[in-house]
Amino acid sequence: MNLSEKKILVTGGQGFIGKNLVKKLKSLNAKVNSFDKIDGQDITDEGLIKKTIKNNYHFIYHLAAFSGNQESLKNYNIAFKINTLATIAFFEAIVKFSPHTKIIISSSRLEYGNPKYLPVDEKHPTQPTSPYGLSKLMATQMAEIYSKTNGLHFTVFRTSNVYGQHHSSKFLGYNLINYFIDISKNNGVLKIFGQGKQVRDYLFIDDLIEAFLLAMSPKSDNQIYNLGYGEGIMLIDMAKLITKTIGCGRIAKVEWPEDWKSIETGSYVTNLSKIKKELGFSPKVKFDQGIKMTIAPL
């Protein structure tokens, strides 16, 4: 794939996913700009958004977000301001100033809430259990409305847990695997709430980026896709594999904190049928292989 003729913006380009995506896009010769608060760019500044959109990008990867299910309980107003209202401001600016631009949105499995069946397909009811999940769902629904009323071109990915090579950082309630890997490397304690029997679906960063690139195809226009590996692993087994692979760290089971228990969504496994059929996506990196790749030197 050669993207030498494409101008691409990545919001949240300094984050874990954003840095990996920017690196990949540049390797494909795309003209890439990053939009990130680390660089002094405020995602809630509508004037700045309008000015940015007037650069007439071919694609915008919208990754910037207020993340964290539990954190959103304390900061729900910020979650909606960033995840919903700022995203709508991008839609509005696109349809007014750059209607050919396609926006590819990184959302979350938490739009679904507590799954009623596994694996979860795109027809599953959306019943978020937290302000974070609701703020992301509302942005997705507004993308659909803008598509129907203003011709917005979009793709939404409801993504499961993503992991991969990264720089160590403070745990903010998400990127649990990367956080557990950092703890294990430092011979620390990996705390598992309850018995750790909840099943999760883990996706390696390279596979996620492959799906993001496939979303450039017109086949994905105005579609919502679930994105994960498609297989479930219990939390306790995930933690055991990490400590075994790294060779240090220990696991401790602790009682559920009440604020975490109230928003816990139970087990989750991704149904990949739609994205496989429509975009030809198939993840390649198995979990045990992904852990080894994650702990390799950057």
Handedness of CA 180, 183, 187, 191 (dihedral sign): negative
Whether residue 216 lies inside any domain: the answer is yes
Whether residue 2 lies inside any domain: the answer is no
Report the pLDDT value the prediction gives residue 170, as an integer from 0 to 100: 57
Report the pLDDT value the prediction gives residue 220, as an integer from 0 to 100: 98
DSSP 175-210: -HHHHHHHHHHTT-EEEEETT---EE-EEEHHHHHH
Give me the half-sphere count of Cα atoms (radius 13 Å) on the Cβ side of residue 89.
18
**pLDDT tens by residue, 88-133:** 999 999 999 999 999 999 999 999 999 999 999 999 999 999 999 9
What is the average pLDDT across 68-91? 90
As beta bridge partners, residue 254 has 193
Report the pLDDT value the prediction gives residue 168, as an integer from 0 to 100: 64
- % pLDDT > 90, the chain: 86
Whether residue 175 lies inside any domain: the answer is yes
Residue 158 to residue 226: CA distance in whole angstroms: 5
Which of 64-68, 152-156, 240-244 is predicted least confidently?
64-68
Report the pLDDT value the prediction gives residue 264, as an integer from 0 to 100: 76
Whether residue 136 lies inside any domain: the answer is yes
pLDDT band at 68 (very low <50, low <70, confident <90, very high): confident
Report the pLDDT value the prediction gives residue 297, as an integer from 0 to 100: 80
Place of tokens 């219990």: 234
Please, what is the average pLDDT of the chain?
94
Residue 182 to residue 222: CA distance in whole angstroms: 37
Report the pLDDT value the prediction gives residue 161, as an integer from 0 to 100: 94
Whether residue 1 lies inside any domain: the answer is no
More confident position, 73 or 186: 186
pLDDT band at 296 (very low <50, low <70, confident <90, very high): confident
Residue ranges making up the domain that contains 110: 7-295
Give me the half-sphere count of Cα atoms (radius 13 Å) on the Cβ side of residue 260.
11
Taking each continuous run of H as one helix and of E as one strand, the counts in the chain are 12, 12
More confident position, 74 or 40: 40
pLDDT band at 266 (very low <50, low <70, confident <90, very high): confident
Residue 132 to residue 69: CA distance in whole angstroms: 5
Residue 10 to residue 196: CA distance in whole angstroms: 35
pLDDT band at 15 (very low <50, low <70, confident <90, very high): very high
Which of 10-14, 165-169, 267-271 is predicted least confidently?
165-169
Report the pLDDT value the prediction gives residue 223, as an integer from 0 to 100: 98
* Angle between helix 131-150 and 86-97 (nearest 10): 10
Assess contact for 11 and 212: CB atoms under 8 A: no
3-state secondary structure of 94: helix
**pLDDT tens by residue, 212-257:** 999 999 999 999 999 999 999 999 999 999 999 999 999 999 988 7
Is residue 172 pLDDT above 80, yes or no? no
Q: Which DSSP helix (H) or strand (E) runs through 90?
A: helix 86-97
pLDDT band at 265 (very low <50, low <70, confident <90, very high): confident
**pLDDT tens by residue, 268-280:** 999 999 999 999 9
Residue 140 makes CB contacts below 8 A (sequence gap 6+) with 105, 107, 111, 156, 158, 224
> pTM of the predicted model, to two decimals?
0.94
Q: Percent helix, strand and coil across the chain, each rounded to 5? A: 45, 20, 40
Is residue 258 pLDDT above 80, yes or no? no
As beta bridge partners, residue 162 has 203
Q: Which DSSP helix (H) or strand (E) runs through 7?
A: strand 7-11
Structurally, the chain folds into a number of domains equal to 1
Domain CATH code at residue 75:
3.40.50.720
Whether residue 154 lies inside any domain: the answer is yes
Residue 261 to residue 101: CA distance in whole angstroms: 41
